[in-house]
Structure 1
Amino acid sequence: MISTTNLSLFFGGQELYSNISLSITKQDKIGLTGKNGAGKSTFLKLILGMYKPDEGSLSVAKGTKICYLPQEIISRSNEKIIDEVCNSNEDLTKISDRLDEINHQLATREDYESDSYLGLLDELADLNDKFNVQGGHGVREQAEVVLKGLGFSPEDLERPMGEFSGGWQMRVELAKLLVQNPDVLLLDEPTNHLDIESIEWLEDYLKKYSGAIILISHDRSFLDGITNRTIEINNRKFYDYNCNFSTYQVRREEEMVQQVQAYNNQQREIAQAERLINKFRAKSSKASFAQSLIKKLDKMNRIELDEVDSSAVAFRFPEPNPSGKLVAELEDVGKTYGEKEILSDVRFNIGKGEKIALIGKNGMGKSTFIKMLVGDTDYEGTIKLGHNVNIGYFAQDETAKLDPNMTVFETIDEVAVGEVRKNVRNILGSFLFSGDDTEKKVSVLSGGEKTRLALCKLLLEPYNFLILDEPTNHLDIVSKEVLQDALKEYSGTVLVVSHDRTFLDGLSDRIYYIKNKNISIYFDTVNDFLKQLKDDKFNTNARASSGKKNKSKAKEKVNHKEKRELENQLKKVERKIEKLEAEIADLQNKVAAGDYEGEEIFSNIEDLNEKLSANMQEWETVTEKLID
């Protein structure tokens, strides 16, 4: 559907791509990766025709429908969300408008035998066929499914676009693309404005998508879950592999090792040949031998090492002064905006050195809770910070707070004090701002560069409690890994909100989950917690329908005695599950309140979770026997 031949593109007098040839088919789900500024978004715009190649060509098959989601978009629509999505397919909208027009004419005209009247009937039939083939009658249903998956409630669908923030409007733009079912989806960082649960829904949706996808994302889990092909842009070249991102990284590293080995072997061979040539070329008896070596070197296919941009952020958080054992105590904490209650009766303690992932759907109060902790908004109840606690805060809109008229150096130099001022350039260098880069205005920086600059400010003081609200937005995969490693080594306490599952799963040792106006604590990795969340939803639905859906089949295949025994077994298992869940909740509440001594309580929670998992498995097995 899409192909490039010897394509080259220049930006600002520098070559961005060099001699690129590739083809993209309908079966391809491509992860387009590379560092910030490598040219990923530019390549999507080339496909759209927004830019033209300086050399070579790019062609798109005739009739190919392409839809594009940029990183940011400004919507001025004030239509209801459901109407905005349903009307996004221009072809269907034109057909629908023409059908309305024809039906109006047929209802008002009386020249039933005229050629023009009969022509309208023929056109009506043709348009109805097209409308059906393109799924016109199912658009609203599909729109509702997609919007719900992206986090909108049924009530939201009737609200106008203007009532929603830019992040939620981006979700609507994504929904508009998905319901159009284009041949090619171009998605530039589609997860930036989604919570983890919506990302998982979108991942499942795109796995089953029938068209081609070219996806820019710095979310490793998301890329691995969807893509079957990876193209990395690095130093003007495209490295193309038919596998997902993680597999590509392994294969690419193996190839680089082999390439270096082959290069070194060839260099030794060349050096040996040149020594023999220099030794024998002056001797008449060996001159022909020397000439043969010269010809051999001239014909040799010289191995060139790939230029790999290995620059990466490199930093560690300064060692903080220790805080007290309790970093924060919360008692009967709540928050309301007008008549809307966000949080209610929140009570727990945060202990020294904990690495906490704060998770919940967008709109549940994650950022609000963080603002309550740092004192940026009022609240009911009591939040008491522990002894010697010093908070370093990265807000979700931290990059927007940067002064666009200041340079990179001025931004850091303005807030650096004492001995730190002597190391400003070194600190900036560790965040890849060196040389002329330090004199760039903030206004010209990319999203990733602004995030790096904002994070850089956190190194200027040794905070012992870091509160980070979406610090990974716009960071490339390598920079995220460096930030994750720095936070792992950090001896202070961390509370972080992020929608990147890979980043959180390798970092946090407990989950704070916001739901139903409260915060529950789980001692799981993020991936285990999300799996449990899915299982809980499945089992809740399964329990509600148990014994009803397949009642007739159960009667046929399980005799009365066996059925009674299975039902008794099922009741016993359900009682065990309820008891275990209550015991786990009780211990978790004690941990949250700081009402425990020693670390034994954590191993008890782990043991109970293992027993709960075994009983859940037994419950599923018995249920399957009942309905088989």
Structure 2
Amino acid sequence: MISVNNVSVYFGAKPLFEDISFVISAKERIALVGKNGAGKSTLLKLLAGIDAPTEGVISRPKDIRIGYLPQVMQTSDERTVLGECQQVFSHITSLEHEVERLAEEMATRTDYDSPEYMELIERHAQRTDLLMMQTSGNIEADIERTLLGLGFERTDFDRPTSEFSGGWRMRIELAKILLQRPDLLLLDEPTNHLDIESIRWLERFITSGSTALVLISHDRAFIDATTSRTLEIELGKLYDYKTNYSHYLTLREERLEQQRRAYENQQKELQATEDFIERFRYKATKAVQVQSRIKQLERIERIEVEDIDRRAMHFSFLPAITSGAYPVIIEGLSKSYGTHTVFEGVNMTIERGEKVAFVGKNGSGKSTLIKCIMGEVTDYTGSLRLGHNVEVGYFAQTQSQELDGNLTVYETIDREAHGPIRTKINDLLGAFMFGGEESEKKISVLSGGERGRVALIKLLLRPANLLILDEPTNHLDIRSKEVLKEAITRFTGTVIVVSHDREFLDGLVSRVYEFRSGRVTEHIGGIYDWLQKRDREDNTFPSSLSELSPSAKATTSAPISSGAEDYQRQKEQAKERRALEKEIKATEERSEAIDTELRMLETQLSDPQHATDATLFSRYQALRSEQESLLARWEELAMKLDL
């Protein structure tokens, strides 16, 4: 579908990446990974046709439809939410006019046997088919289904887009892209502004559709659920792994170990050669050998070892005095803004040492309740008390605005750090993506996400026995999340965390409070326990086993229902779904194997020596035919899975 051939991008004389080549096939779903600054977003822009490479060629079919969602975008405020989405279908009117014009031309011309008339018929048929395909189904229903899936309420549809925050405007743009039904989706951190329910809806949309995908994301659960191939950019090179992200990590470690061994062996050889040159440089009898060794050194292509810090970064929060047995006690709490009730009748008792999660759609009241606990909002009804000796450590993205813009990142953290932790400042900065020169940046030049990370590091250096974290993983990479998660796990105090990151919450919290429709409901257990309970209550099932927690992937939980008949029906549905998932996985694996063999055959057939090889061509045609059958079966299975 898209072919990237020997592409390089330079910033001045410095290469971002060099001579990379790969192919994106139809319906293929790819994760694009690598360090910040490795060139992932740049490559996405190249694929979208927004930027051009310094060298090389990117080939795309002329009629390919590409949907591109950048991290930062310019949005329009001229329409309502519904009106903005309806703009996606404005091209249908143009297409209808074109079909009418072609039909009129066919009716008036009389050169029925001419090549031009045959081309006219072909063009009319193609455009008619395209029109039928794009107008199939109910457009208004598609818009409604997509907006609801991304978290909008029906009452939002007629609101001007100017009334929404940047995160909600991003959802509008994402909805428009999905409604276009593109051949290829290019998504750069799409989950940053989505809640758990919207993320899971987007997962199901992607996995049940036929759209190809190239994804940049730090949400590990989302990556594993939606992709089956991983492209890594590292040190200007591209590595292609035909597997999902979790398995890629294992294979990558094996490759890096081989790379390190090769590097060490080469260093020994280089040292031996240099020793020989130094030893015999001034001996006339060895002049020829010395010159030969010097030329040999010049010809050697030096092996680079990826600059990855593999030291285990372990960090513990600074100790604080022990709080009372119940740090937070809430009884009958209600909060409204005018006629809008945010939540009412909230009852919540959090015990010392507990780690709990607040989950729910954006705007459902999670941050408002936290502000009530922090004393930032006081005009509520009901009772809210903090326990004895509670020392709160609070993180919210808005705290980044309070940082001193005249200080560097290092100076900011250095002023906050006290005691033994001062010896680990550089390690801590590196763990949160401020290693090396990044630590010398002024706060004033940092992006919002970078400032948020600095504010989070400051929190880690303050003693507290109650941590309240509002979306702490936004703008963190996977390694930084792991460092933070381990620190919170080791923390002996109490934790309240608002997050949409399932991988981060899994194994971290033991109780979940769900904010929904003005109510706050307590759920005992971890994040995946809550998700499975929600699926049973809503009479839905996970779109794939990747939606289950790691400990539950071997089996699905029995649904809770009101009667034996309903229970048996749901069991049969779950069994049927597992069988479909097994077949779709086998279909995908066979399809990938065929893709590999087809590429090999294409290479052979492009060689003049094999261009007329009937056996090769026959094999190629047979594989193409099998691939078409597999794709048709895949679509059939995907539709069945969309229960």
Q: TM-score range by the shorter chain?
A: 0.7 to 0.9
Structure 1 residue 220 corresponds to structure 2 residue 202: no
Summarize deviations over 1:153-192 as a string: whole Å, max 9, x none: 2222222222222211111110100111112111111111
Match of 1:346?
346
Distance 1:59 1:173 in 2: 26
Match of 1:516?
517
Q: Which secondary structure does the structure 2 equivalent of 1:20 belong to?
A: strand
Distance 2:215 2:340 in 1: 37
Match of 1:385?
386
Distance 1:417 1:215 in 2: 37
Contact 2:560 2:567 in 1 (8 A): no
Match of 2:504?
503
Structure 1 residue 441 corresponds to structure 2 residue 442: yes
* Residues 8-27 of structure 1 mapped to structure 2, 5 A cutoff: 8-11=8-11, 14-27=14-27
* Residues 325-404 of structure 1 mapped to structure 2, 5 A cutoff: 325-378=325-378, 379-402=380-403
Distance 2:417 2:274 in 1: 59
Summarize deviations over 1:111-150 as a string: whole Å, max 9, x none: xx999xxxxxx99999766432322663222111111111
Contact 2:432 2:476 in 1 (8 A): no
Contact 1:425 1:434 in 2 (8 A): no
TM-score (norm 2): 0.73
Q: Which secondary structure does the structure 2 equivalent of 1:88 belong to?
A: helix
Match of 1:92?
92
Match of 2:28?
28
Could you tell me which runs of 5 or more consecutive residues in structure 1 were left unpaired when the two chains were aligned: 107-112, 116-121, 281-286, 541-609
Give, in angstroms, the shift of residue 506 of structure 1. Answer: 2.9
Contact 1:4 1:23 in 2 (8 A): yes
* Residues 39-58 of structure 1 mapped to structure 2, 5 A cutoff: 39-58=39-58
Change (3 A) 1:419 1:199: same
Larger radius of gyration: 1
Match of 1:310?
309
Change (3 A) 1:358 1:330: same
Match of 1:469?
470
Summarize deviations over 1:198-226 as a string: whole Å, max 9, x none: 10010011112322211111001100111
Summarize deviations over 1:548-569 as a string: whole Å, max 9, x none: xxxxxxxxxxxxxxxxxxxxxx
* Residues 224-239 of structure 1 mapped to structure 2, 5 A cutoff: 224-239=224-239
Q: Which secondary structure does the structure 2 equivalent of 1:484 belong to?
A: helix
* Residues 60-459 of structure 1 mapped to structure 2, 5 A cutoff: 60-95=60-95, 98=97, 130-135=130-135, 138-261=138-261, 304=303, 306-310=305-309, 315-378=315-378, 379-402=380-403, 406-409=407-410, 411-412=412-413, 416=416, 426=426, 428=429, 431-433=432-434, 436-446=437-447, 448-459=449-460
Match of 2:533?
532
Distance 2:139 2:162 in 1: 23
Distance 1:438 1:276 in 2: 42
Distance 2:155 2:177 in 1: 22
Distance 1:433 1:443 in 2: 15
Match of 1:5?
5
Q: Which secondary structure does the structure 1 equivalent of 2:191 belong to?
A: coil
Give, in angstroms, the shift of residue 314 of structure 1. Answer: 5.9
Contact 1:322 1:464 in 2 (8 A): yes
Distance 1:233 1:267 in 2: 25
Q: Which secondary structure does the structure 2 equivalent of 1:255 belong to?
A: helix
Report the AA paired with residue 508 of structure 2.
Answer: L
Distance 2:451 2:12 in 1: 21
Match of 2:641?
none
Distance 1:612 1:238 in 2: 44
Contact 1:66 1:183 in 2 (8 A): yes
Contact 2:82 2:158 in 1 (8 A): yes
Greater Cα shift, 615-624 or 265-274: 265-274
Q: Which secondary structure does the structure 2 equivalent of 1:304 belong to?
A: coil
Match of 1:574?
none
Give, in angstroms, the shift of residue 511 of structure 1. Answer: 1.0
Q: Which secondary structure does the structure 2 equivalent of 1:232 belong to?
A: strand
Change (3 A) 1:434 1:131: closer
Contact 1:331 1:348 in 2 (8 A): yes
Report the AA paired with residue 488 of structure 1.
Answer: T
Change (3 A) 1:35 1:624: closer
Contact 1:315 1:431 in 2 (8 A): no
Distance 1:71 1:345 in 2: 38
Give, in angstroms, the shift of residue 429 of structure 1. Answer: 5.8
RMSD: 4.3
Q: Which secondary structure does the structure 2 equivalent of 1:155 belong to?
A: helix
Summarize deviations over 1:330-358 as a string: whole Å, max 9, x none: 11111101011111111121111111111
Distance 2:94 2:370 in 1: 47
Give the number of aligned pairs.
541
Give, in angstroms, the shift of residue 46 of structure 1. Answer: 2.1
Distance 1:99 1:209 in 2: 29
Give, in angstroms, the shift of residue 611 of structure 1. Answer: 11
Distance 1:89 1:611 in 2: 42
Contact 1:32 1:230 in 2 (8 A): yes
Contact 1:234 1:309 in 2 (8 A): no
Distance 1:29 1:422 in 2: 44
Could you tell me which runs of 5 or more consecutive residues in structure 2 were left unpaired when the two chains were aligned: 110-120, 281-285, 542-555, 577-643
Change (3 A) 1:143 1:403: farther
Greater Cα shift, 10-19 or 429-438: 429-438
Report the AA paired with residue 502 of structure 1.
Answer: E
Distance 1:26 1:178 in 2: 17
Q: Which secondary structure does the structure 1 equivalent of 2:203 belong to?
A: helix
Give, in angstroms, the shift of residue 469 of structure 1. Answer: 0.7
Q: Which secondary structure does the structure 1 equivalent of 2:141 belong to?
A: helix
Change (3 A) 1:428 1:100: same
Q: Which secondary structure does the structure 1 equivalent of 2:327 belong to?
A: strand
Q: Which secondary structure does the structure 2 equivalent of 1:397 belong to?
A: helix
Give, in angstroms, the shift of residue 484 of structure 1. Answer: 0.7
Give, in angstroms, the shift of residue 194 of structure 1. Answer: 0.9
Give, in angstroms, the shift of residue 452 of structure 1. Answer: 2.1
Give the % identical residues.
43
Q: Which secondary structure does the structure 2 equivalent of 1:506 belong to?
A: coil
Distance 1:482 1:130 in 2: 50
Contact 1:85 1:176 in 2 (8 A): yes
Give, in angstroms, the shift of residue 47 of structure 1. Answer: 2.3
TM-score (norm 1): 0.75
Q: Which secondary structure does the structure 2 equivalent of 1:3 belong to?
A: strand
